Amino acid sequence: MRPELNPFTPGSGLRPPALEGRGKQIDDFDLLIARSKRRQYDRGMMLSGLRGVGKTVLLNRLAEHAENQGWMVAQMEARATDVGVTVSRRRLIGELRRGVQRYSRRHDLQKKLQPVLEFVERLHLTLAGPGGVTVTAGRGGQPAMPTMDWEYEFETLVEDIGAILAKHGSALGVFIDELQDIDDATLESLLAVQHTASQRGWPFFLVGAPPQPAVTARRVPILCGTSVRVLHDRRARTGRRE
């Protein structure tokens, strides 16, 4: 084969010319989106597999598709170098802030989402402060607890966003690559909020891409609250690795 015709390009997460062999996972996600438009909410989704099978490429594709279908999307890659829960949470809230801003501009909902954006800003500033534990103001600008309860604050934020998005047949999707690199406490909180959202009918979906060993070993108990899709090697068909 002539070198310029070879579709393979080394690099993690680079998009291949064609995403082959992932039709089942894309169809499953399409169903998730279709049901969310009818206010029928399912669990989040985990894309698990060995390194190099295309988890990152597929996750990026699903996030892009979700946004094109009218979802509010926050997307991040967890990093093993992120030390401590405050760093992970600050990055997550920062990405969520960008997601709210993009969605409000795209759907002309700046005024309606302004209180949510202010709440996100306060959380972000709180986490950026000394120790990330002092909350200056709470929901709707009201005084908040002097000590931050991360899971409660994040759950409240998801509830507030969901109440607005549900009226527009939309949903909030949080897409996290290398999910296993988020600290256990934050991951458990995310999955707990996902579980609460499923029970209470909030349009919130956590979509992650942990490597298969993280699922088959120590993280099985905390990932069981989501729907796990195991990806197999399709490089022979895609011509590109993850």
- Distance in angstroms (rounded) separating the CA atoms of residues 181 and 170: 29
What average pLDDT does this structure show over 112-126?
A: 92
Residue 171 corresponds to which tokens in the numbers above?
A: 């949903």
Dihedral sign from CA coordinates of 29, 46, 76, 71? positive
Mean model confidence pLDDT for the chain: 78
86-110 per-position pLDDT tens digit: 888 999 999 999 999 999 999 999 9
What average pLDDT does this structure show over 66-75?
A: 96
17-69 per-position pLDDT tens digit: 555 556 788 898 999 999 999 999 888 888 877 777 678 889 999 999 999 99
Domains of the chain with CATH codes: 23-29+39-238 (3.40.50.300)
pTM, 2 dp: 0.78
- Give the Cβ contact number of residue 240 at 10 Å: 22
> Looking up tokens 């709707």, which residue turns up?
140
What average pLDDT does this structure show over 142-163?
A: 79
Question: 165 falls in which pLDDT band (50, 70, 90)?
Answer: very high
Strands 72-77 and 45-48: unpaired
